[in-house]
Structure 1
Amino acid sequence: METFPKIISVDDHTVEPPHVWQDRLPSKYRDIGPRIVRAPVREMTFVGGKFAPKMGAAGDDGPMADWWVYEDLLRPLTRLDTAVGCSRDDIKLEGITYEQMRPGSFSVPERLADMDVNHVQSALCFPTFPRFCGQTFTEAKDRELGLLGVRAYNDWMVEEWCGPQAEGRLIPLTLVPLWDAELAAAEVRRNAARGVRAVCFSEIPPHLGLPSIHTDYWDPFLRACDETGTVVAMHIGSSSKMPSTSADAPAAVGSTITFANCCFSMVDWLMSGKFDRFPGLKIMYAEGQIGWIPYILERADVVWEENRGWGGVADKVRRPPSELFAEHVYGCFFDDAFGLRNLDAIGVGNVLYETDYPHSDSTWPTSREVGESQMGHLAPDVVEQIVRGNAIALLGLTREGLWGPSAGPGA
């Protein structure tokens, strides 16, 4: 491919610096709010889709790690949080410190430099410590502190991570307090007023003990997203339950089928009636890949056509699910040659590109080469649309693909 468009990645990640909550929470909460403690790792496993770390006591032998401590939560930084720059064979489930990770994981100038190396112009970043939709704060005991934690993260995301030094190249993605749909709606509107056009959400809320998308519980939140043009962004694992087949299945099993939750979630949304009620609503699935989408749309259409009466959706799903998908849903991929060979069955306008920096699956620093290899059969205008055009339209970026508080679609 003679020229490859500058990439707008819709799924990268930030590792929050230690000061995020300590600088922003009221003083009375700093001793129990999120903070970093350096301590040894006694044990750490990831089996059956469950992550189980254990902190050692001061003076214990064992590798040292930086741990996020919040109420009763002890969560170490791991090599899987930030694996870029390491040999694939050296990427293991182990605790690390900030000094052991690539600085671009948490430093804006270093992130921009790593984006330059990877032919990336702009990037939307999901959280690490809060988890992919803020589950950390949702599970906390103190709701007042949890809400302050959500707002502090969002203020850091907008004002610092995506602040002036980012030069419009980092695109804000915020959290909401999932335990209260009205508070969630208010937080969407608060951030939309300062130019934010994407919010994290859970792919399968009932896995978090929350109401499903089939209830009316989420309507205030969805209405706020609809009215402000805020995209609902769902990352694999945002239900805190990664796909697996058994309690003793190795992590490789879950890693192979990570798309499964996206698949289940998308069917939920297509059969929920929400897109008819909120016609401007857009949703996206980060890191879910796209090769599975054509069959699911085909099957959903068959079920809707033949079984919608007894299937319980005749009164709320007015059009074939594939039509709803075309207008409301976006699949995201970083390495999916099969999906790209079947792009016509998905829709050019429903696909977004990502690099997953700095995770172990990331294509950094060869995202351009991967894209050139897998998109070589596509027309240049199609490649342009997938690699950046769809993201510009969806996220309200400037024509140059940059974010700014006053940027709007096509601004």
Structure 2
Amino acid sequence: MGEIESAGALEQGLAKALARAGMAAPEGVQRLTGGATMESWRFSSGGEDFVLRRAPSLAFMEGRPFGHDSEAAIIGAAHAAGVTAPEVLVGLQPGDGIGSGFVMRALPGTPDPRAILAMDDPGQLLRDVARDLARIHALPRAGLPGDVPELDYAEGIEGLAEQFEEAGGDRPIIALGLRWLRENMPDRVEPVLNHGDYRLGNLLAQDSQLTGVLDWELAHFGDRHEDLAFGCMAVWRFARVDRPALGLGSLQDYVAAYEAESGARVDAGRFRFWLVYRTVWWALGCLRMASFWRSGDDRMLERVVISRRTSEQELDLLLLLEEDAPEAEQARAMPPRDALPEPLGEASAGELATAVAEWLGSVKDRMEGHDRFQLAVARNALGMIARNDAAATQVEDDMLAQDVLDGRASLATPGLLAMLRRAALDKLGADVPKYPMLALARKKWTGED
């Protein structure tokens, strides 16, 4: 619960905030599942439903370009401009004693990507998504907080390179992405407000209609193509990797709807640059989750599990970049997997993890709410341990990564692409074997289903 000692303390502090807005004390406060960075709590007041969005700790807000007061102002401006953003009612103050955040009116709809992808008319929803993104990009700078940053492309790339070094600098595939970004950086264009995290998971929908745009903490000024590309990353398509536009439809339909709403033209080259950029960005973002946990500022279980999702982005990044490799390297067969001996003697670490995961599965029906969600995350973590123990995967190589960054190795280097393909498949197969792009990559690279 971050810095909060008890549910009672949370309700008491929330009641102080609500009183400033002339609202009744909260009832039925319940933690919502999900949220890789911020916490969300749903509650009722005066017969209506609301959501508290807050940082898991005050320390977690350090180093961010702007605080929750500016985020609330951005959401307010978007709401006033017709974006399906929530209405912000009151912000937390230090005297409330429950950290940093604000209260919003609850919106209808679900954020569950799988439920959204199962809706009857994904084409209509995709048009709604394009409409709201165009409205976000049209928000005038004068009506937004002055501390909303502008992304300098070169500084952004070098910031990613610094994160890479801080994380060990030992992932050759990420190094390939950084090298490509440096060599393919486009010229600056007139910036627009970017939502910064515009994707399934941060959108609410009901009956194939968009009902909410959430999580504005990454808003910044920059190239509109960044927002367009980010939602189209493979990871945010979830089960529908066959629908490149947010898992909802084709890129052609998404671009056409956005261009019609915004009056701006979408450039394919700039779109690809930002697709690679944000894939590298999220790969490093996943890696950083482990450092958040190690620091002690945020010991949520999700942090360490998300850190292992780096392998998803490494595979996606290789799929994006391999088209630049010589045809001979694209056609080269991967090296075979190393055979491992059958386990003997006492139980291995992986077998212990499997045993604990099986026991947790037997008690999951006794859990509810966020505790049940955390139990599922714990079982995922134990599964990662077991599969990594059995596969003995290895993707870290700081010397090769440095060679790539310095230009001494590239996708034209004989055998490098094939080796990286094998490493990416094996690592992701151990970390997240159900990741939809894994099956696609395996079929493309090996011919296996």
TM-score tier, shorter chain, comes to: 0.3 to 0.5
TM-score, scaled to structure 2: 0.31
The TM-score, its normalising length taken from structure 1, stands at 0.33
Decide which structure has greater helix share. 2
Give 1 or 2: higher strand fraction.
Answer: 1
**Higher RCO, 1 vs 2 (CA within 8 Å, ≥6 residues apart):** 1
Please say which structure displays the higher CA radius of gyration.
2
